[in-house]
Amino acid sequence: MNAILEQLSKFGVVPVVVLNEVKDAEPLAKALCEGGLPCAEVTFRTAAAEESIRTMTEKFPEMLVGAGTVLTTEQVDRAVAAGAKFIVSPGFDPEIVDYCLNKDILVLPGCVTPSEVAQGVKRGLKVLKFFPAEQYGGVSTIKAMAAAYVGIKFMPTGGINPKNVKDYLTCDKIFACGGSWMVKGDLIAAGEFDKIKSLTEEAVALVKEVR
């Protein structure tokens, strides 16, 4: 589990992907890998998510693929069976968190309040998702909560883009950022995987400037 966290931290940015068509999974994975960011959080919002995770992990075994927007324990099982190495949920659902911990599955639950962070601390979690980041005060809120919970780091997601990602990554309480700007749905739908590769390379460069 710690090895996965180390990898995510090194990447600095985790592409948050929504795939409507399984056929797009392989070229998207290729673009991310060639762009220098062999990881993805594939959201479970679409019917294509499960098979897309399977395709990515089978075709690109070097990729670190997780499942996002996981809302049920049944989705946890399906995602892991498809090859997901970590689970991300939008909010703190104790049932999902405990289920993952009991099965030794890395879980990054969403938190925006001290009470939710406290639930994570109680369970021994070291990294929590902060979502939706910009709408809940961004870096300043994270710094304020991290002052009370010194052992916790955050993965903010929501509203993060090339203009503000460096502000997040310069904060030592931020573990990595979730972002979708390099994998936007319209680019995927249009088959603009060269553009995705280019945007991914730019994202990698931004991380290197800060870290």
Q: Which residues are catalytic?
A: 41, 129
Q: Take residue 158 and report the two structure tokens written for it.
A: 């929501």
> What number of helices (H) and strands (E) belong to the chain?
10, 8
- Contact between 97 and 72 (Cβ < 8 Å): no
Quick one: DSSP state of residue 20?
A: S
Angle separating helix axes 25-34 and 193-210, nearest 10 degrees:
40
**Beta strands of 72-203 (E only): which ranges?**
86-89, 106-109, 127-130, 153-156, 177-179
The CA distances from residue 46 to 59, 111, 127, 174, in Å, are 20, 23, 26, 29
